[in-house]
Amino acid sequence: MQLTYLQDPGHGWIACPISLAHDLRIAERVSPFSYFEANTLWLEEDCDASLLIEALERNGTPFTLRHVHVNTDAYVRNLPRWNP
């Protein structure tokens, strides 16, 4: 599984399908510092992204991170905040 790790000059987020977050039972533990759009949950790097990584590791699900960096504020900052 390849996950996108989006970073701007001040912060970063890992994209996770919302369905996967529910399947891994982490959706209800994600903080409002993360964002969402359509079917994607953008997990804030400081605490919420680790919920996903730890759950994938517990399940033995292999994954890679595709790093994407933008030099201005990432569009993710303008999305609605996650509110489980």
pLDDT at 72: 96
The confidence band for 33, taking pLDDT boundaries of 50, 70 and 90, is: very high
* pLDDT exceeds 90 at position 84: no
Q: What's the number of domains the chain is made of?
A: 1
CA distance 38 to 20: 14
Residue 54 neighbours by CB under 8 Å, 6+ apart: none
| 83, part of any domain | no
pLDDT at 36: 97
Structural domain for 41, as ranges: 2-78
| 38, part of any domain | yes
To the nearest 5 percent, what fractions of the chain are helix, strand and coil?
30, 30, 40
